[in-house]
Amino acid sequence: MKNKISDWWGSKVDRQLDEIISYCSNKRSALDLGCGIGANSRYLARQGFNVTSVDFNNDLIDKFKDILRSDNFSQNIKILTENIEKFYPAGKYDLILALSVLHFFRMESISSIISRLKESIEKGGIIFIRVFSNKDKDFNRLKEAGLQIGINEIHSPKLDKDFHYFEEDELRSLLAGLDIIELREYETHGIHPPEGEHEHWMFDIVARK
């Protein structure tokens, strides 16, 4: 099944967010890791969450702040410009989003990030993660070009960036100790720079503490 992803940098509310919110025992606090320009953060704020929004990209954060100037729920959002690899959540959250962000790191960093996120979930809280699958054609193309740098990891010379492409067992292991509510692998039609329109294989995983 193919799903349309019309946005990559946080300008559209995720199509599954209402379902994810419905899993939350409480709806007080949320962390949006890799928030981009903040559509999910702003939606969560309108649903009553106090939201901590984190991204490392200054241009996206500046645009997010510009948008918030005309948003009636801006007082419910705290924006942090942080290196996600080194980010330590300061509080506990009923909901954590990490959508299309963790695959930009290598496994050593991913494991550390997820460990910190797991510690930051309130009892009964939800974490929702979206990452690249190792079925992705870009992974296999770059692997065949001799650019694999580790298990399920490649270096993209075009972007000068390392990527991790996940398999199901890795995700289950990373989220060990949480109750997995949903885990699905699927092909998407994506539109984002620098490639424009193209396909990706993704995993969505939702888990409860």
What are the chain's domains?
A: 2-134+165-208 (3.40.50.150)
DSSP state of 165: -
41: left (phi over 0), alpha (psi -120 to 50) or beta: alpha
pLDDT truncated to tens, each residue of the chain (209 aa)?
334 333 457 679 999 999 999 999 999 999 999 999 999 999 999 999 999 999 999 999 999 999 999 988 999 999 999 999 999 999 999 999 999 999 999 999 999 999 999 999 999 999 999 999 999 999 999 999 999 999 999 999 988 999 999 999 999 999 999 999 999 999 987 665 556 667 899 999 999 99
**Can you tell me the distance from the alpha carbon of 94 to that of 28, in angstroms, rounded to the nearest whole number?**
6
- Residues 133 and 203: beta-carbon distance below 8 Å: yes
Residue 91, class by beta-carbon neighbours within 10 Å (0-12 exposed, 13-18 middle, 19+ buried)? exposed
- pTM, rounded to two decimals: 0.92
